[in-house]
Amino acid sequence: MVPSRQAKSSKTVRRVLTGLVVGACLLAGLTGADAQAPAKQPAAAPQATPQVAPQAAPQAVPGFWDPRRRPERPDLSRLTVIRFLTETDYPPFNYTGADGNPAGFNVDLARALCEEIKVTCTVQMRRFETLVDALSSNRGDAIIASMAVSPQLRARVDFTDPYYRVPARFASRKDAVMPEIRPEYLEGRKVGVIAGSAHEAYLKAMFTDAELHPYPNDDAMRAALRKGEVDFIFGDAISLAFWINGTDSGDCCAFSGGPFVESRFFGEGIGIAVRKGNDVLRQALNWALFRVWEKGRYTDLWLRYFSVSPF
C-alpha cells in the first residue's frame, strides 16, 4: 500500500509551487482547530471623517498546539542521532536546493527539532512511495514528508501529533468574494470540485442545495472558474493558495469564506512517522515540536515558505 499525501497536487500545481518557493511567506489567520469564523464587517466611516488607508493585517500563523497541554520533557539521553527520511520533489515542503542538499519546510523543521533535542540530524531524500518500507527496514528513524495520518498507515507506523493540517476552502472570482460561506448561501450556485474527491463527498453531505460540477483534475476545475462557468470551486486550500497567488490564475480569483477542517472528510492532519513502538523518539519529537512552536521558530518557518494563507 502506497501512503497518501493530503496535500498532493497536480503537475501544474507543482510547477506553480516550485516557482514560488524562494522568498515565499504565508499569511494565515485561524488556528487549525478553528473553521468558518464569520468575518466582521468594518463600520462605515462618517462622511465628514477623512478616509485613511487601512493598515495591513498583522501576519499570523495557525497554531496546532494547545498551550494548556504542555508535554513533559522526556528522557532524551538515549537519542544520539535522528535519521530523517523525506521525499525528493514536493516543493515547498521538500525539494533539492541549489546546492544539491535537501531543502524545504519539512527539512528545516526537522533540523529545528534536532537542535531542540540536541542531537545530530541527517536528512535522506527518497521517492515518496518507498518511505514507509525504508523506515520499516531501519534505513531511517522518522519520516517527515507531508504524510497524512490515516488508519491504514497507523497499522504500519506510529505518528507524532499533527504539525500541520490541510484545510479545504472555496475560491471565487474576485468580483464575487463572500466573507462567509454557509450551505444556505450556495443554494442553486454552481460549484466546481474534483470528481471522486473528499471535497466532493463533503459538498454532497453538507451543501446539498448547491449545483455541483465535477471535474477530472485541478486544471479543468480552475479553468472553469476563470471563465466564469462556475461560481465557486472547492478544494485543497494549500494548493489553491499557491494557484491564487501564481501566474496560472491570471489574478482572477480569491478565497471566499474560511477554512473547513472536519477530520472525517479531510483527515487527521500531517504527522511525523516513526517505527511502531518507538515511543522514545515519538515522545521526543512531540516535545520538540511544542518547544519549536512555543519559541516562535515554527512561525518563522511557516512565514518563510508560503505566500497566501490557506486558513
Residue pLDDT, tens place only, 94-152: 999 999 999 999 999 999 999 999 999 999 999 999 999 999 999 999 999 999 999 99
| One-letter amino acid of 263 | S
Please, which residues have CB within 8 angstroms of residue 191's CB and are 6 or more apart in sequence?
Answer: 170, 203, 207, 210, 211, 212, 213, 230, 231, 232, 233, 234
Phi-psi region of 16 (alpha: psi -120 to 50; beta: other; left: phi over 0): alpha
Give the pLDDT score at 1.
53
Task: Tell me which residue of 75, 138, 128, 76 sits closest to 106, measured CA to CA.
Answer: 128
CA distances from 267 to 80, 91, 260 (A): 33, 21, 11
Give the pLDDT score at 5.
59
- Ranges under pLDDT 70 in the chain: 1-62, 307
Task: For the beta carbon of residue 230, count every other beta carbon within 10 angstroms.
Answer: 23
> CB-side exposure of 98: number of CA atoms within 13 Å?
2
Give the pLDDT score at 61.
66
Give the pLDDT score at 7.
44
